[in-house]
Amino acid sequence: MFGTPAPTSNKIKQINWRLLTNQHNLLYMLAAGLVMPPKGFGNNYYQDTLACFPGWIPLFADSIPNAAIEDSISERPHLIPCIATMDLTTLRGSVMALGPDGALKEVVFPDGLDGSEQMLLVQAPLPISWISSIGFRTREEKSNCEADASDFGNVPLSDFKSEINARDFTAGTDMSWPPNGLVFRNIELGLEMPFAVGGMMAMTLHLANLGELGMRTCRLAFDGELDVAQSIQDPLLACLGSWMQSGHPPETADISSILFWGVVNKVAMNRFSDAPDKPLDVVLGHLELEGARLDEPKKQALVKLANDLRTIASFSDSTITEIFERHPKTFSRVMTLFFLRDKCSDLLAFKNPLLTEADYIAAAILFAAREGWLGLPLLLRNITGLQASISHRMAAMAHRIAHTDLDMGPPPLRPIPLRELFLPGQKGWSNAQKEAALVLARECKWSCVQTRVSLGKGDYRLVVDGGGVHILLAGEAKAVATEVDREQFFAALAQTPISDKQDRKVRDLLKV
């Protein structure tokens, strides 16, 4: 990690570092959460400035070459040029800089800049949350891009400031494009694990209301705190922190953990292979390979599970509950869920009384490896602060596992799950927590709301008539308070999906 940067000389003007692309590539990167090289797009990439420098992100200093604009919309007639202005405030490390002499040199950002740079090459990826604005040539092109974004369920275009500035597209430089004779090393950082990690962080946040294990796993997914990992008793979930750091299966003696994280890796890697297999086939193939290495009792149990999974994938005459009864361990139930449901949203909606908190959380991790952050709909991304915190951590992980010297700076604070926000202090709930709990319980129509009537000393009469039950007392009641039973509240919170509107209202009441 770098220390506090020295102040940049006042003689160097403030530079707007700009990425030139087209609207289709822009929308894909917004969905993916990363500014990334063409390799990250799969078959969804259209020629733009990223193609000229494999593994690097070209960022122009204010003015953009006219030829680069034409190049970025040359592949299809419907393409629209877009300029994404990047905020590199927290970036530290080595970058390549193109000077006025047309030569590339390696400099340490930002202190190594002298203000004459025409372009930077920064190792990909970068967080999409660093985009401070998106520029278009005309209002019509901006509207067309917004219409394109509405066709997809995972593009958060409305979260970003957009503007119309024709001059940015017409007052470009005459710099040749692509530049000739530049010497630099081609690099490609793996994005498979960062994409999976993004999905895992989001899913553990959505399941953090289940209970104490859910809260701790969520903290571990976002920040990998060692003390949190040590507090998780489930050996399978306790490995999440080390996997988040390295992107590799953890070293452990627990067979279920070895099998589970091996499956997670295989499923995550398969999404980016040149010819991806069906995820279910990937799982079965891995189980067969690993089963051959086990001793006989464990091998037979794994063979039985694999056979049941094949039956589920085709047609099973057993009910879901019967299948779970045959496979009481978390690993087996997670594999079963993976074969029963396709999407992360399907898993969140699935309920079965036999499933434990650990079963749901482990399943969420595996489902996220299959879909990744890119596959999650906006409905699962709309928690305040989620996009920025995940985008930053995905980019940081990519650079960490590739051992580059780029430092993204401190990550944004993770979104705090509601259950954690309602943890009582030494004196119980604060007034704000009490009010927020009451509002949420009323909106969700939970049965945890109760009324406390405090009465003074005296004799009371109980009257029952057609209007109900009445307590008659002399004088006035000392206090009538509507309150929430905390234990029942947490039980209801674990079982009820909370809408975005309700989530935001609670956070506003708690001022977080």
Size of the chain, expressed as the number of residues it contains? 512
CA-closest candidate to residue 136, choices 160, 162, 171: 162
CA trace torsion 497, 502, 506, 507 (10° rounding): 90
Low-confidence ranges of the chain (pLDDT < 70): 1-13, 172, 315-316, 455-456, 458, 473-479
Instruction: Give the model's pLDDT for residue 475.
Output: 64
10 Å CB burial of residue 46 (0-12, 13-18, 19+) is buried
**Exposure string for 148-167, b = 16+ CB within 10 A, e = fewer:** bbeeeebbbbeeeeeeeeee
- Backbone φ and ψ for 25, nearest 5 degrees, come out as -65, -40
Instruction: Give the model's pLDDT for residue 271.
Output: 84
How far is C-alpha 357 from the chain's CA centre? 21
* Residue 212: how many other CB atoms lie within 10 Å: 15
- Residue with the two structure tokens 């953990």: 257
Cα–Cα–Cα angle for 49, 43, 177, rounded to 5 degrees: 15
Element of type H or E holding 7: none
Instruction: Give the model's pLDDT for residue 452.
Output: 77
Instruction: Give the model's pLDDT for residue 298.
Output: 82
Instruction: Give the model's pLDDT for residue 304.
Output: 84
What is the per-residue pLDDT across 397-444, written as a single tens digit (0 to 9) for each?
Answer: 999 988 898 999 999 999 999 999 999 999 999 999 999 999 999 999
Pairing of strands 468-472, 461-465: antiparallel
How far is C-alpha 45 from the chain's CA centre? 22
CA-closest candidate to residue 403, choices 250, 245, 262, 272: 245
- Cβ(72)–Cβ(20) below 8 Å: yes
Instruction: Give the model's pLDDT for residue 474.
Output: 66
Give the residue extent of every domain in the chain: 17-170, 192-402, 422-510
Task: Summarize the chain as % helix, strand, coil (round to 5).
Answer: 45, 15, 40
Instruction: Give the model's pLDDT for residue 5.
Output: 46
The DSSP line for 389-436 is HHHHHHHHHHHHHHT---B--SPPPPPPPHHHHT--BTTB--HHHHHH
- Residue with the two structure tokens 């590799």: 248
Instruction: Give the model's pLDDT for residue 169.
Output: 86
- Residue with the two structure tokens 């950002």: 109
